[in-house]
Every structure is written in structure tokens, then in C-alpha cells.
Amino acid sequence: MSAAVVTSAGALAALAAGLVLGWLHFHSLRPVSRLLAGGRLSAVLLQASRLAVAGLFLYFCARYGAPQLIAALAGMMAGRAIVLGSADRGAP
């Protein structure tokens, strides 16, 4: 396979993984914020975990190259848009 095909396949995989991770990351924000507002200290650990997972994912994508990192970020932002779109429609 040529390098362009491998790079494209890696970027598509990063896009898909970013979409899933972005949806999970932003979908978990509501429960974490409710816990924080309720004064639960365990929410700080959950928030730190959310940020660490997202940071590690982006770090590993960056190690594979700029196309993979950009695709992963685009996927995460698409996941964010899905979560925010469902919040606009009043879904829990």
C-alpha cells in the first residue's frame, strides 16, 4: 500500500475514534457537573479522568502525524455537536 492510503486509513480511524470519544466526553459532562454542583468530591476525579483520557487520545494521535490529529479533533468536535444538538432539542 502506498503512504497516502495508509495515512488516509489512519485519519479515518482517528476521525471515527474521535467521534466516539467526543460524544462520550461531552455526554458525560452533565452528570459530572451535577455531581460538582452537589458538592461531591468524587466529581473532581471524574473530571480529571475525562480530561486525561481526551488528552492521551490526542497525544497518541499526534504521535502518528498531523492528519490523524486533525481528524481526531474534527471527530471530537462532531461528537460535541451531536451532544449539544440533542441538548438543544431538550433530550436528557
Q: In this predicted model, what pLDDT tens digit does every residue of 48-74 receive, in sequence order?
A: 999 999 999 999 999 999 999 999 999
Asked whether the predicted pLDDT for residue 1 surpasses 70, the reply is no
Tens digit of pLDDT for each residue in 19-32? 999 999 999 999 99
Q: In terms of Cα–Cα distance, which of 6, 1, 2 is closest to 64?
A: 6
Would you give the DSSP letter of residue 85?
H
Position 88: which residue type? D
pLDDT tens by residue, 35-54: 999 989 889 999 999 999 99
Residue 76 has pLDDT above 70, yes or no: yes
Q: Residue 8 is placed in which grid cell?
A: 488516509
Q: Is residue 40 left, alpha or beta, with left meaning phi > 0 and alpha meaning psi from -120 to 50?
A: beta
